[in-house]
Amino acid sequence: MSSVVFRAVQRTASFGTLVVAGAMTSAAVVSVVSAQDAPKPQPVATAPAPRTALPLKLAPRPTKSAITADDLMTRLYIFADDSLQGRDAGTEGSFKATELLAREAKRLGLQPAGDSGTFFQTLPLKSKKVDPMSSFVAGGASLELGKEWGFKSGSSMTFNDTPVVFGGVMGEAASLPADQVAGKLVVLTVPLSQTAVQQAVEGDVDVPAGAAGIMLVVPPQAAGVFGYVLRPSVFVDDPAFGGPRLFIGAGAMSKLFTSPVSALKAGAIGATVNIKAVLDVTPSPFAARNVVAILPGSDPKLKNQYVAVGAHSDHVGMSRRAVDHDSVLIFNRIVRPGGAENDDKMGNAEQFSQVNAELAEMRKSSPTRRDSIFNGADDDGSGSVAVQEIAELLSTMKVKPKRSTLFVWHVGEEKGLWGSKFFTAHATVSRDSIVAQLNIDMVGRGSATDLTGTSKEGQDLRGGPDYLQLVGSRRLSTELGDLVESVNKSKKHNMVFDYGMDANDHPMNIYCRSDHYEYAKWGVPVTFFTTGGHSAYHQLTDEPQYIDYPHMERVAKLIADVALDLGNRAGRPVVNQPKLDPRGTCKQ
């Protein structure tokens, strides 16, 4: 599951003589809300956790047609192996992971539904680096790159003797006549809110027809935008990911207009600017690929509709240096029970004593293991292999579901929902033919000792023997939410659903943080299935030996039955709730 909108960065924390890997957390470059405003889960003192009985490595075994814990274990030990180096999108590890997925889809007899008759849908992934000699001159005055101005684009941009025109407030501005914007840069002020700044950086912002481009005025409280957009990065060079745009600081507006912003009216003409925004752009050495496969439906008419079942294949890669695996394991369980969600918690003396005592006890039977790979067994190896098991079950049925089943293993979810955004923008089947999307992300944990999340009010949520979180199941179609409940009961899965993370205005915003959202924004009913967070979330300790495979089997069987019900029912789930703005910013 994606941390938030922005790419995770690594921190480390040290205590005593131990050094532990810190949480993978968002680079909160545009935060305009105090961190104290969001509820924080509280650590719980626990007894030493028993050493796992599962091995570090496992020899693969042939899988069966049924969904079983043994099959899930076999698949996950392969998919979350060190050899895939954390499956970071655009790396060799991710490339190898998608090879494994495509090979298995072919073995199961699924039809390729990617590019040019293959199982792969390749994203135009590139690397970019800003040339520090990029320049911005307004009416003879220069602006300092990274402090007063910046830009986001997939290629270099040049504006010679280009006038600017004030367009008003982003999202609220009335359209200016074509003759007022023709050949000009339209300047829009960004409101002071997290949603608005996020929209300015990552979302769609309309460029008036005939205008030379847009320039967004960043509030002083969000000046971190400049560092974010100017840092070297990988990106998807596609219009669906937002068009080019310039950014200037609010303090630089005096170099563009003679009147203060408060006195400006839409249509006011400002200075003439000369801008050279120069990028060094190179293709990614390894392709970032969605894996797309179809199990054709058995009904001649309904086979042209699709039940989409998906997960994300990527994780967050590798640490720059190896650290002691067991130190991380114990530290996070005691100090950061939510893993990356608790990256602000550094621990106290009492906790450090407990950590060191448990580590000393562990050292009596277990040697130090240096670790630098974020294996992503739960996030989202668990979802990826659950989709494989569901595909194997459905593909071996004598009578296939009436509707076709669309399996998509999305890439780059951890980068900001890249694969699902690209797939839904360039769907290889008609987007309107997808009747529902079932997203499976982190379904390998959920025990009573796991901090699976927090309620909207900030109370801890904990797992249990029958635990499963659902998010979004009734946000577009109450019928879909009722269907999931009905299947759980009628098929005697007896899972206990936790809707605590699905509350409106929940500060963790989970509805917007995994691939289902990219389907929901286009009006496709979705359900997000997850066993929730835990102390290994985005940590080096998210490894196959810590997964609860019998619990994971139950979750996968439930989702398979939901997919079967959707595939065989007479009608598609009715969308009876307000639809989202596909060009807007998601807010739960």
Cβ–Cβ < 8 Å for 248, 229: no
Q: Is 240 found in the same domain as 100?
A: no
Q: Is residue 17 part of a domain?
A: no
Q: Is 241 found in the same domain as 99?
A: no
Q: How far is CA 165 from CA 128, 175, 198, 571, in A?
A: 29, 12, 23, 51
Cβ–Cβ < 8 Å for 381, 79: yes
Give the residue numbers spanning the domain of 308.
64-125+287-321+368-568
Tokens of 300: 């001649």
Q: Is 491 found in the same domain as 456?
A: yes
- The pLDDT, as a whole number, for residue 171 is 85
The parts of the chain modelled with pLDDT lower than 50 are: 4-51
Q: Is residue 207 part of a domain?
A: yes
Q: Is 374 found in the same domain as 403?
A: yes
Q: Is 523 found in the same domain as 379?
A: yes
Q: Is 237 found in the same domain as 169?
A: yes
Q: Is 519 found in the same domain as 393?
A: yes
Q: Is 92 found in the same domain as 172?
A: no
Q: Is 562 found in the same domain as 480?
A: yes
Q: What is the pTM of this model?
A: 0.90
Q: Is 310 found in the same domain as 192?
A: no
CATH at residue 198: 3.50.30
Q: Is residue 332 part of a domain?
A: no
Q: Is residue 203 part of a domain?
A: yes
Q: Is 87 found in the same domain as 142?
A: no
Cα–Cα dist 325/337, whole Å: 16
Q: Is residue 542 part of a domain?
A: yes
Phi and psi at residue 409, to the nearest 5°: -100, 105
CATH at residue 382: 3.40.630.10
Q: Which ranges of 231-270 does DSSP label H, i.e. alpha helix?
A: none
Q: Give the three-state DSSP class for 164.
A: strand
Cα–Cα dist 121/132, whole Å: 34
The one-letter amino acid at 117: G
Q: Is 141 found in the same domain as 102?
A: no
Q: Is residue 250 part of a domain?
A: yes
Q: Is residue 210 part of a domain?
A: yes
Work out the number of other CB atoms within 10 angstroms of the CB of residue 46. 13
Q: Is residue 190 part of a domain?
A: yes
- The pLDDT, as a whole number, for residue 3 is 67
First to last CA, the chain: 16
Q: How many domains, in total, are found in the chain?
A: 2
| Boundary-marking domain end, from 245, 277, 309 | 277
| Boundary-marking domain end, from 211, 244, 277 | 277
- The pLDDT, as a whole number, for residue 175 is 81
Cα–Cα dist 158/164, whole Å: 14
Length of the chain (residues): 588
Phi and psi at residue 20, to the nearest 5°: -120, 150
